[in-house]
Amino acid sequence: MDFMSDALKCGRKFRTFNVVDDFNREVLGIEIDLNLPSKRVIRTLERIAEWRGYSAQIRMDNA
């Protein structure tokens, strides 16, 4: 899991929430918006868990 941010040409910032399976480099989910509230992140993780099951380990990039 990782959050990233960037800005549009007009200066508005946007964020992305990325969930990637590190074993096979498969992207499991990407959420992109001007803001990403915690309920939306939770909903995304729950949707992935329903589809793929719960992960044995989670790695988060906090750098």
Cβ–Cβ under 8 Å, residues 14 and 33: yes
Task: Report the largest interatomic distance among the alpha carbons of the chain, rounded to a whole angstrom.
Answer: 41
Over the chain (63 residues), the average pLDDT of each successive run of 10 is 94 95 92 95 95 87 67
pTM, full prediction: 0.82
Residue 16 lies in a domain: yes
Q: What confidence score (pLDDT) does residue 63 get?
A: 59
Q: Dump strand ranges (E) for the chain.
A: 2-7, 13-21, 26-33
Q: What confidence score (pLDDT) does residue 60 get?
A: 81
Task: State which residues form the domain around 20.
Answer: 2-52
Residue 17 lies in a domain: yes
Residue 63 lies in a domain: no
Residue 58 lies in a domain: no
Q: What confidence score (pLDDT) does residue 32 get?
A: 96
Residue 61 lies in a domain: no
Q: What confidence score (pLDDT) does residue 61 get?
A: 73
Total number of domains constituting the chain: 1
Residue 26 lies in a domain: yes
